[in-house]
Amino acid sequence: MNRLFPIPAFTIAGLIMTFISIMITIPDYEGKEILKTGKLVDVLIEKAPDHCKKRHKRDILVVFFNYKGKTHSRNVNEKWCKEIKNEQVLQMKSNDSGTDFVFTWETEGELSNEIGSGIILTLFGLFLIFKGYYDRRKNKTYEQHQV
């Protein structure tokens, strides 16, 4: 069997899914660590979302805030969006370097659910990689017996 592209589609899909799910899960894990060991800091809200209702599932509500002269951003859910106002001083938890922030109302449970979802997607991606590898080996064995 002569293929134009020798890597099975399952393997490619698995690699892509595994990479994306790991990249999505890492910030949630870091956020969980900040909730446990982070320090409370006061930040100044520069720009709250204009509206707190998501019009589409893909809409993202983003808050821009200032900490030590630098502007940072963080996604906020609809539940807490109404509590955030422009020019408001808000307490957040931060890592020691002051580069990553977590809202104090975020719970470890919410972040654990997101981490769990990322792990499930990663495992599914790995399954696809192994399925592609197994199918390719099976096809090679079949082709050798046909000759």
pLDDT tens for residues 5-58?
A: 567 788 888 889 989 988 887 777 777 788 888 889 999 999 888 887 777 777
Specify if 141 maps to a domain. no
Give me the number of domains the chain comprises. Answer: 1
Give me 34's structure tokens: 């900040």
Q: Is residue 20 one of the residues assigned to a domain?
A: yes
Residues 6+ apart with CB under 8 A from 66: 43, 44, 46, 72
- Domain with 94 in it: 9-106+113-121
Closest CA to 31 of 81, 73, 79, 94: 94
Q: For the chain, how many residues are written?
A: 147
When pLDDT is averaged across residues 122-141 and rounded to a whole number, the result is 83
Residue 129, Cβ neighbours under 10 Å: how many?
19
Is residue 29 within 8 A of residue 112, CB to CB? The reply is no
Q: Is residue 133 part of a domain?
A: no
Position 138 in a domain: no
Q: Does the pTM exceed 0.85?
A: no
Is 57 part of a structural domain of the chain? yes
In a domain, 102, yes or no: yes
Do β-strands 62-67 and 70-75 pair in parallel, antiparallel, or remain unpaired?
antiparallel
4 found inside a domain: no
CA atoms within 13 A on the CB side of 17: 19
Is the predicted pLDDT of residue 107 greater than 80, yes or no?
A: no
Q: Is 30 within the bounds of a domain?
A: yes
